Structure 1
Amino acid sequence: MSTNFVELPSARHFALKHCTLPKISVNGADDFAAREGLIKADLIIADGKVDQILPYGSADATLPAADLRDGMVWPCFAELHTHIDKGHIWERRRNPDGTFMGALENVKLDREANWSADDVAARMEFSLKTAYAHGTALLRTHLDSLPPQHRISFEVFSAMREKWKGRIDLQAVALFSTEMIFEPFFDDLVQVIRDHGGLLGGVTMMLPDLDAQLDKMFRTASDNGFDIDLHVDETEEREVLTLKKIAEAKIRNGYEGKVTVGHCCSLARQDEETAKRTIDVVAKAGLSVVSLPMCNMYLQDRHTGRTPRWRGVTLFKELTAAGVQTCVSSDNTRDPFYAYGDLDGVEVVREAVRILQLDHPLDEAARIMTRTPAEIMGVADRGVIAEGGPADLVLFSARRWSEFLSRPQADRIVMRNGMGIDRSLPDYRELDPLMDK
């Protein structure tokens, strides 16, 4: 017997009646009246696409139909910032004190000892099965790219991208310390990124030659047509102002590609005047900011025997108000940087609303895992529900925000190309052979 809250018709042409949709994630919904950012509509699905978005209750009564009884319908999730190359290593390489430095050290030890192509592929596959079952259709991962790992992991990633084509669209970012940008290794890394259609990334730090590092990064990206995605200011140290330096470098170099910055934690530790100056230049430069609320609450302000004094996240509301594109994502899953997580877009939205206080009102909350990250990734049509667009949808029994945010939505239905998928999650026992190393 099915455990779904509603049965989908087996026909290729059918109606989803009495739906509740987040207006911010629907194209062509200007004429629909919204309450808390939610609108009522009927959806007509035909040949794997959203054929029509109709007024509530107006679908042709002769069509096969599923009555959602006001249940929510979202576009599939877009994960802008993940690390599926290091995911699920917790059982063999834990972080004993839960600190950032402990995470760095233990990931390094595990990478050097275990990250063969087979090991990385098995853990990536497990992560993608999980994300797909939860309703993700678009995912960007950072790949640890210290030599020789850059050549191993990008090869595995390209194979995964081809294998998962049509289920999850994948993007990859090279992750390395930008201190290494003047070393001979960097030329080889650029070649690998070019060969595999990746993005240029990196971990930036406040060092004396940071401006020179950034200038070379932006020149390299311009010369090769790369977009940039950086780890920035993942620290509680208020004097760290790398974010402002990056924005200034983008302007200084006349760089025209997309620049995404993740974390930006120290911004929330700075005085109002300093933070405002940084936010102004970030907006002027057109940077996009992704907050990783679950991972940053786990790592930031962690001191033995002391309760944390702050939430670890960036100034999300202030950045958004300044016109900066902002979104959230999962970040790490079950590794030394974050011991938990399941690449579940619902969990990320629920926790982001709590941690960042994105409620009161909730009108645009849905965009943070749908429309905005998809736009940042350059695949704007994947983060919305639109007539003529793919019927890649997530259906919920929850009718209102309070219902949606109060339960994990375990009975959700994920539709791809107009059909429900098998939502069975992979068993952690599949990873047991890797944990015996």
Structure 2
Amino acid sequence: MIPTVSNYWLKNAQIPACLLNNVVLEQTPNREDLVNVNLEIADGMIRQIVTSGTVETGEIPTVDLQKKLVLPCFVDVHTHLDKGHIWERTPNADGTFGGALKAVWEDAETWNFEDIYRRMEFGLKCSYAHGTNAIRTHLDSGGKLADISWDVFKTLQKEWSYRLILQAVALVTLEEYLTPAGEKLADKVAEFGGILGGVAYMNPEIDRQIERVFELAKDRNLDLDFHTDENGDPDSMTLKKVAETALKTEFSGKIVCGHCCSLAVQSPEQVTETIALVKQAGIGIISLPMCNLYLQDRQYEQQLNLTQTPRWRGVTLLHELKQSEIPVAIASDNCRDPFYGFGDHDGLEVFKMAVRIAHLDHPFGDWPKAVTRTPAELMGLSKIGQIGVGLPADLIIFQGRYFSEVLSRSQHDRIVLRKGKQINTILPDYSELDDLC
């Protein structure tokens, strides 16, 4: 369908207006905030973007997309590639958060370079085929994993450098950073060009733990990425503490906080105070709607072998945060591991599920930025996640013409362009991992 020549037009494309970069069009977006445009692709870049029907394409090869929806490639800002695809050998027996922790701890005892490499690469293959072009993964970095996981990441980062932008975050509980091992880990993160991070739990030393992470990051000029309040406890306020520490230390690097679930069960007064601090501190928020829906409020009575129906959805206050002009992104999180038994590293599935779980519709507005432009900005990537003149032609062409179509029917037949060239979108077969199960 897509010409193999270096110069061609994509005619009659539907694009969310919020994803166009520095383009002025004399048309009013439709009720889904989509505009109808022609794009000229030349030497892998976007040369022109014009309103459909306003420019003659001449003898240049032209493809009429017939109003198919076109998005920039996805940006997945919060994943756990090192844990991925261990479900078949180590499932979560009761589906709870505690069950997930126990299962991963047990499975991690067997991790080695080849095992982590092959599962991470499988995730990269899926992401690439679905149309992702940048990924940030958290890496379990306690004990021996501090060496193994980061070596695997460095290897894959180099091997996939022409296909995917990869970033890594150190993942340990924050108490680790009060020890010599934590300082050594911070040095390793700096050596690898990574992001300092960890899981923040409420405990008597939480203030000192957070302060120490900021100290280590400032000394090494590192950005920060925290897991905060991944629970339904209204007394869990680590997001607020991170924001307070950022302001107290006048931290100048980028900070993002993922999950932030407990914000949704706190009092209106507490919510208002925390959101104000988050905005003042310039913190970006990442919601993981699929994983949080799966784990949060899951209650299992082991003796009776009974599961209760969850009473809430587990996601943070996406709308309230965004209405306060705080950058909000959504991401895939875990995939086929004890923290989330499903998933396929697909940005469209993430967006589709988030729309349904958190009502990111009617109108869709600029919510498509949450899986493209906003996470790219949080990752410090200025030239991806958007469509604009002079930017790479990294695009996804869906068969659906409107969100009502794209989010209703499987888009397995999407076309993915990287630098204007159509790539192979065949997904890796699960049998590739059979000998690891």
Query: TM range, normalised to the smaller chain?
Result: over 0.9
Structure 1: distance between partners of 2:211 and 2:347 = 35
* AA at the equivalent of 2:241: K
The Cα of 1:306 is off from its aligned counterpart by: 1.0
Which residue type is aligned with residue 253 of structure 2? G
Distance 1:309 1:59 in 2: 56
Deviation at residue 380 of structure 1 after TM alignment: 2.1
After superposition, give the CA deviation of every residue in 1:191-218 in whole Å (9 maximum; x if it has no partner): 2111111000000011122111111111
2:243: which partner in 1? 247
Find the partner of 1:311 among 302, 306, 313: 313
Cα distance between partner residues in 2 of 1:399 and 1:263? 32
Following the alignment from structure 1 to structure 2, what is the Cα–Cα distance between the partners of residues 273 and 380? 36
Partner of 2:303: none
Provide the rounded CA distance (Å) in 1 between the counterparts of 2:357 and 2:219.
Answer: 40
Q: Contact between 1:397 and 1:412, CA under 8 Å: does it hold in 2? A: yes
Change (3 A) 1:59 1:329: farther
Counterpart in 1 of 2:369? Answer: 367
User: Alpha-carbon deviation of 1:181?
Assistant: 1.3
Partner of 1:8: 2
Displacement, 1:410? 1.1
1:268: which partner in 2? 264
Counterpart among 12, 26, 32 of residue 18 in structure 1: 12
- What is the aligned partner in structure 1 of residue 139 from structure 2? 143
Decide which of 29, 47, 59 is 1:34's aligned counterpart: 29
Query: Alignment length, in residue pairs?
Result: 428
Residues 183, 216 of structure 2: 8 Å contact kept: no
**1:116-135 alignment to 2 at 5 Å?**
116-135=112-131
Counterpart position of 2:337:
335
How does the TM-score come out when normalised to structure 1? Answer: 0.97
- What SS class does the counterpart of residue 9 from structure 1 fall into? coil
Amino acid paired to 2:85: H
The question of whether the paired residues in 2 share the 8 Å contact of 1:23 and 1:34 is answered with yes
The percentage of aligned residue pairs carrying the same residue is: 47
Following the alignment from structure 1 to structure 2, what is the Cα–Cα distance between the partners of residues 367 and 29? 16
2:165 corresponds in structure 1 to 169
CA positional deviation for 1:59: 4.3
| One-letter identity of the residue aligned with 2:281 | A
Whichever residue aligns with residue 297 of structure 1, its letter is L
For the residue of structure 2 that corresponds to 1:275, the secondary structure is: helix
Are the equivalent residues in 2 in contact too, given 1:38–1:363 (CA < 8 A)?
no
Q: Could you tell me how far 1:138 is from its partner in structure 2?
A: 0.4
Kindly report which structure 2 residues correspond to 1:270-309, keeping only aligned pairs within 5 A, or say none: 270-304=266-300, 305-309=307-311
Contact (CA 8 Å) 2:129, 2:426: kept in 1 or not? yes
Given that 1:14 and 1:44 are in contact with CA atoms closer than 8 Å, whether structure 2 keeps it comes out as yes
Maintained 8 Å contact 2:186/2:217? no
2:428 counterpart (413, 422, 426): 426
Pairing 1:237–2:233 present: yes
Gaps spanning 5+ residues in structure 2: where? 301-306
Q: Pick from 213, 222, 228: which aligns with 2:224? A: 228
2:189 maps to which of 187, 193, 199: 193
Instruction: Output the CA distance in 2 between the equivalents of 1:269 and 1:152.
Output: 38
> Which is worse superposed, 83-92 or 393-402?
393-402
Q: Name the structure 2 match of 1:354.
A: 356
1:30 CA drift (Å): 3.8
CA distance in 1, matches of 2:56, 2:199: 51
Residue equivalent to 1:321: 323
The superposition leaves residues 326-373 of structure 1 with CA deviations (integer Å, 9 ceiling, x where unpaired) of 010000000000000001011001000000101011121210101100
TM-score w.r.t. the length of structure 2 is 0.97
Structure 1, unpaired ranges of 5+? 1-6
> 1:84–1:127: 8 Å Cα contact kept in structure 2?
yes
SS of the aligned residue for 1:359 comes to coil
